[in-house]
Chain A
């Protein structure tokens, strides 16, 4: 139970820190900020677990049962799962394509907005659009694809592995092409 309580406290600190860091650094992409903060808070959890007393000043004896190391790693697992949910919430909510559409419809107000206007909101010019303009360079930067001499794109070994796993998961879950 001690591991669970400490993991919740450390997770709360993680959330507050990432929000404050977003205001201070104003990152264009939040992935690194979340990961760096997670790396900083992981040792913090183990330090907090080690230096605090077994009952963390509040727990009754009835809850101080079981092997200590199991409790510690259980708490850390809960911390990681909470962090995953939180980061996923951010990317699904703030970075989500559907949410972007909803926001455009909200901004249109009482007049509403046509499908064509929504589509044009994602275009930079007749050739380029905002979906591909930053994703393809980001995929090159992350080592998932390479740009060929004929302006084509090819998967790297890393990109191919991710694509194969994704295709397998989509088939396993009986999903369509998705996206």
Chain B
């Protein structure tokens, strides 16, 4: 088990470092797609590290008791979970409006709400997100009006169901 977890942690660390370096050298327009690509590229690494027996001298006792198939199963599962955690944390940092407000306050010192709204206005926020949604094929524009593409419609219906399940309000309905 520890061997499987070590395999996945090493692979995850290599993938994350590689991804961050790549995004500094040549930032991808679609970061989610680039993360998926990096995950798929990193998949053989677990098998490669396992087959080359690099880690074996450091944990011989543990190796003796665990079947290879089970080691690889746990290594791949845990690697997937860490990958999902990285993707989630990435979007928390990138998309969070609250974190953006805090960073704006950090950069500008004390500000009133008008200053904040000037630096980071709702109008800019909406226009920026609409541009992202258009690039990612969720929506399209005709005669100055926005419409949903099938992908956008699927997510909108799914959100309606999810809002009912959790009895939650969306951002435009929320006032407190």
Contacts and interface: CB of A to CB of B under 8 A. Distances in A.
Interface of A: 1, 4, 18-19, 22-23, 26-28, 30, 62-63, 65-67, 70-71, 74, 78, 81-82, 84-85, 88, 90, 92-106, 108, 111-115, 118-119, 121-124, 129-139, 144-145, 148, 150-155, 159-160, 162-164, 166-167, 169-170, 172-175, 177-179
A78 B73 CA distance: 14
Given A19-B166, A65-B67, A102 B95 contact: no
A28 B111 CA distance: 28
Given A22-B167, A71-B1, A115-B127, A102 B106 contact: no
26 contacts: A19-B166, A27-B167, A74-B5, A92-B88, A92-B91, A94-B166, A97-B97, A98-B95, A100-B171, A102-B148, A102-B159, A105-B152, A118-B130, A119-B126, A131-B97, A131-B122, A132-B113, A132-B117, A133-B176, A139-B101, A152-B110, A154-B110, A163-B102, A174-B23, A179-B97, A179-B120
The 10 closest A-B pairs by CB, nearest first: A179-B100, A112-B145, A100-B171, A106-B156, A163-B106, A163-B102, A88-B88, A100-B170, A152-B112, A166-B99
A128 B156 CA distance: 27
Contact of A122 (B66, B88, B113, B122): B122
B2 interface: yes
A128 to B, nearest CB: 8
A122 B93 contact: no
Interface string B98-127: 111111111101111101110010110111
Question: DSSP class of A's interface residues: helix, strand, loop or mixed?
Answer: helix
A105 B97 CA distance: 21
A162 B159 contact: no
A152 to B, nearest CB: 4
A63 B145 CA distance: 58
A95 B171 contact: yes
A105 B146 contact: yes
B162 A93 contact: yes
A98 B129 contact: yes
Contacts of B148: 102, 105-106
